[in-house]
Amino acid sequence: MKHYSFILFYLFCNVFIYAFQGSFWVYIACFLVFSAVVVWGSFAIELGYFVNSITHKHTKIKEIALTFDDGPTEFTPKFLDLLKEYQIKATFFCIGKQIEKYPETFQRIIAEGHTIGNHTLTHSKSTGFLSTSKMIVEIENCDKVINNIGNIQTNLYRPPFGVTNPSIAKAIKQTHKISIGWNVRSLDTIIDDEKKIYKRVTKNLRKGSIILLHDTSEKTYRVLVDLLVFLKDKRYSTFTVDSITNSRKK
């Protein structure tokens, strides 16, 4: 994708520069267009602009993956109870500091057969501005917490906020991670209306979809209650992300 954008940018500039005889404003326009493409690529993980991320599973059957970010939290046990009731395994992308805060919950996630992914040590709000070396520290220190408390290793990694850039791309490569994205984003941390979240998820569902949720609120828990009923009624089965990558290690 990123290669195509550079080619399109090059063609776009040449056409306009030729048409307007190298006008200064044409150069400015080209720069602004390219900048917009780069920003869009940084925040839209499904484009694979800087990092090739797994966003769905190629499958012909009705199956989806439930993924939860930013835990474990005080709400996670309720999510686990519900998943256990429906006999569903999910993928949890955990923050190192949250694991340290809720070690027993983290161990329960593992004990109940769910898949664990790395979501950095601190989930810094300035993630998009961190250097490669600092991103590596974030990823590797989260790995240490996962191993120390859960006694497991994982190659799965989900970029905080879904943000990618050249520094993050290098950090992912150097830590030998597999970047995991999504193709159904619930926006459950932004939207307050539970019905809108539920509708957003269900209307965008496809065979092989990877759904992004957060085990961080009662709101999302209530959405999950309705979503699991929907999945059962529509005869969707579920898979965990490591079933695509075979990257989970004990």
Q: Which residues are catalytic?
A: 69, 214
H-helix or E-strand spanning residue 136:
helix 132-150
Q: What are phi and psi of 109, to 5 degrees?
A: -55, -45
Chain Cα centroid distance, residue 198 = 18
Rounded Cα distance, 20 and 147, in Å: 60
Rounded Cα distance, 110 and 213, in Å: 18
Rounded Cα distance, 182 and 154, in Å: 18
Say if residues 91 and 248 touch (Cβ distance below 8 Å).
no
- Among 193, 191, 155, 194, which Cα is nearest to 172's? 155
